[in-house]
Chains A and B, each alone.
Chain A
Amino acid sequence: MASATESIDEILRKSYDAGFVTDIEQEYAPPGLNEDIVRFISKKKEEPEWLLQWRLKAYRRWLEMSEPRWAKVSYPEIDYQDICYYAAPKSKDDAPKSLDEVDPELLATYEKLGIPLHEREVLAGVAVDAVFDSVSVATTFREKLSEVGVIFMSFSEAVQKHPELIKKYLGSVVPVSDNFFAALNSAVFSDGSVVYIPKGVRCPMELSTYFRINAAKTGQFERTLVVADEGSYVSYLEGCTAPMRDENQLHAAVVELVAHEDAQIKYSTVQNWYPGDENGKGGIYNFVTKRGLCEGARSKISWTQVETGSAITWKYPSCILKGDDSIGEFYSVALSNHRQQADTGTKMIHLGKNTKSTIISKGISAGHGQQTYRGGVKIMRGAENARNYTQCDSLLIGDQCGAHTVPYVDVRNSSSKLEHEATTSRIGEDQLFYCRQRGLSEEDAVSLIVNGFAKEVLKELPMEFAVEAQKLLGVSLEGAVG
């Protein structure tokens, strides 16, 4: 067994494929955070006064708040005055009008990440809003979308073109004072994506945003807002990678979803931020607030996440089930290898009658990785006949990692039904040997077993991305996939 563990360890010492730095000129704000920086960002983005005031309010609240320390993650204190809060490719002033005008090196970067910006994307039916550091570089398929009235654009652009939309929904699900990182984001967020699906429209394609942190020592604070009006449907995917750097980088995003009556939002994330090296040097601190509001009756919000990156993940995509008969779902695969720490899970807050939630969480720990599932199910007094099903499974690879499960349940209506199942298993030497005896390499065997373990969640991803996620799980564990 000892030698089997050793060889597993060897496999786990893979390299990070997306760890390249793009050498283009960047424009920075001076490091540090104060009201002037907030004003600087707002001015750079030519924002209206009300938005500046909203940011400043958030900033002032942030000053009074302290960093949450309840998660099972440990990291040195973050010096918020040592971070740059704004960085943009310099060519911003003469912004690209088509893909041909985009910096070729930038396009090459996306190429390496496998983001389909050209024809491939037509075939795949994917529209990509690529956020390079803070400024949205290229938005594709917008025309096709606007034919059916779908709004899909960068946050800065939406602020200019659809201020009423932003004003109505910004902070409506995650208020500025919600938590420390949400407040920070509200003060300094630089860009992100906005989606609006009008009444009765089924969005004709998967919408997708790739975020990428490129500049050293910059925080990325993007903001995503997805609003699905009555009876509409949208599937949205975000993918994230960041180059390899020795120092840690901060990523504090906020995602707000609003689903009106009979609307459905499917939000999928494939997160592959740089996890740090095998000794835990470098890597992204991923402190993200994601929340969806099932505002209308029979609305549905479904979160699917595949989290393989980041040095630290602190993330709990949640659903507020306000409308009667609304449905919340959370499907998660989180992988922590080397020294990665993940404290992730969800919160399902049942307010309406006959509301239903499903939580399927699959945690994979390898190397010295630490993994915590933290989930909250809250059934409020008015939530007659609410149902919740929770399943969290942990898979351990090697004997130096850890898996922890922390479920919170708060039930205030006795007509509700809740189920909770949890398992912990280990990739056994016997499983590996069985696969190898049939001709599979050790790497392929690990990948196969892990993908089998995660299958229930992976099948929730849109087809094009399920394949990518499957590969990512393989790559994150070894370097090749069978």
Chain B
Amino acid sequence: MLKIENLHVEVDGKPILKGITLDIAAGEVHAIMGPNGSGKSTLAYVLAGREGYEVTKGSVTYKGQNLLEMEPEVRAAEGVFLGFQYPVAIPGVSNIYFLKAALNAIRKHRGQDPLDAIDFMKLSKEKAAIVQLPDELTKRAVNDGFSGGEKKRNEIFQMAMLEPSLAVLDETDSGLDIDALRVVAQGVNALRGPERAMLVITHYQRLLDYIVPDVVHVLIDGRIVRTGDKDLAKQLEKQGYSEVRDAIQP
């Protein structure tokens, strides 16, 4: 599904990612853990195509295509979804209108007819239930005045609506209390499937108790320093990142 090879990325001339190699197959959930400033969010943005991130070396192949050459909206239409760490508010634009525009833009790209209002509402009711998103929230302006938990639930709701092939979830757990975390994690788990790959980026092991990953990577200073199974996350939780850092940089 996704093949990242020796990826180097600079922001404002400063190297952030220094040779990432990663291979995620369909049906797999990978977690990337790392301390602040290790380059986790940079990786998420590069995959989604945000401007200002310069790839200086390496390649990213998605479903056999060069992902880096695609515009952000083309990546979205091809099935790349980014769950934002800080979802953005769009005042005056209702959540449901926004999603309908997005979904139909993606359907158009795939050569499908746009969903009509009735089918769309039916779909959105069904998907909103996955993250227990109240009806009222789907009608409010996108993320405008949403609480932290509501924003994150809304991200997962959008993911459920857009049905991506590759979901990159950037610190989806940040700012969530334990109940909200459980709801969001359940939402994510409901969307796991053999056709879908996920890259879960997190600072804490906590989220991985609920979303159990197939593979865990530890990202420190722009490099993946350890790769293992879900136990690696637990081990990390006990030892802390500094110990890992010391272990690899004696």
Contacts and interface: CB of A to CB of B under 8 A. Distances in A.
Interface of A: 1, 3-4, 428-431, 433-442, 444, 448-449, 451-456, 482
A434 B77 contact: no
18 contacts: A429-B51, A431-B88, A434-B88, A436-B49, A437-B72, A437-B75, A437-B81, A437-B84, A439-B77, A441-B73, A444-B105, A448-B90, A449-B90, A449-B93, A452-B90, A452-B91, A453-B92, A454-B92
Nearest to A393: B91
Contact of B71 (A434, A436, A451, A482): A436
Given A433-B72, A439-B109, 5 more contacts: A3-B51, A436-B73, A438-B76, A439-B105, A442-B73
Contacts of A433: 48, 50-51, 72, 88
Contacts of B73: 436-437, 439-442
A438 B98 contact: yes
A11 B101 CA distance: 19
A440 to B, nearest CB: 5
Interface in B92-133: 92-93, 98-99, 101-103, 105-106, 109
Interface in B19-72: 48-52, 71-72
A449 B144 CA distance: 13
A436 B76 contact: yes
The 3 closest A-B pairs by CB, nearest first: A452-B92, A452-B93, A438-B102
A325 B105 CA distance: 49
Contacts of B224: none
A451 B92 contact: yes
A482 B75 CA distance: 19
B154 to A, nearest CB: 12
A434 B51 contact: no
Given A452-B91, A453-B91, A454-B92, A436 B72 contact: yes
A444 B98 CA distance: 11
Given A4-B51, A429-B51, A448-B101, A439 B92 contact: no
A3 B82 contact: no
A434 B88 CA distance: 7
A455 B140 CA distance: 13
B51 A439 contact: no
B223 to A, nearest CB: 26
B172 interface: no
Contacts, number: 81
Contacts of B92: 451-456
Contacts of A448: 90, 93, 98, 101
Nearest to B87: A434
A4 to B, nearest CB: 6
Contacts of B7: none
B90 A440 contact: no
Contact of A1 (B52, B82, B98, B109): B52
B202 interface: no
Contacts of B71: 436
A431 B98 CA distance: 12
A431 B51 CA distance: 13
A295 B142 CA distance: 43
B105 A482 contact: yes
Contacts of B76: 436-439
Contacts of A437: 48-49, 72-73, 75-76, 81-82, 84
A359 B71 CA distance: 41
B158 interface: yes
Contacts of B101: 440, 444, 448, 482
Most buried by A among B75, B93, B158: B93
Nearest to A3: B51
Most buried by B among A440, A451, A454: A440
Contacts of A449: 90, 93
B162 A452 contact: no
B239 to A, nearest CB: 35
Contacts of A440: 73, 101-102, 105
B141 interface: yes
Contacts of A430: 88
Contacts of B98: 435, 438, 448
A434 B50 CA distance: 9
A438 B143 CA distance: 14
A216 B168 CA distance: 57
Contacts of A434: 84, 87-88, 90
Nearest to B82: A437
Contacts of B81: 437
Contacts of A438: 76, 98-99, 102, 158, 162
Nearest to B108: A439
Contacts of B106: 439
Most buried by B among A1, A4, A430: A430
B105 to A, nearest CB: 4
A435 B72 CA distance: 9
A398 to B, nearest CB: 15
Contacts of B99: 438
Contacts of B102: 435, 438-440
A439 B103 contact: yes
B171 to A, nearest CB: 16
A456 B93 CA distance: 11
B58 to A, nearest CB: 21
Nearest to B105: A439
Nearest to B84: A434
A439 B99 CA distance: 10
Contacts of B72: 433, 436-437
B200 to A, nearest CB: 17
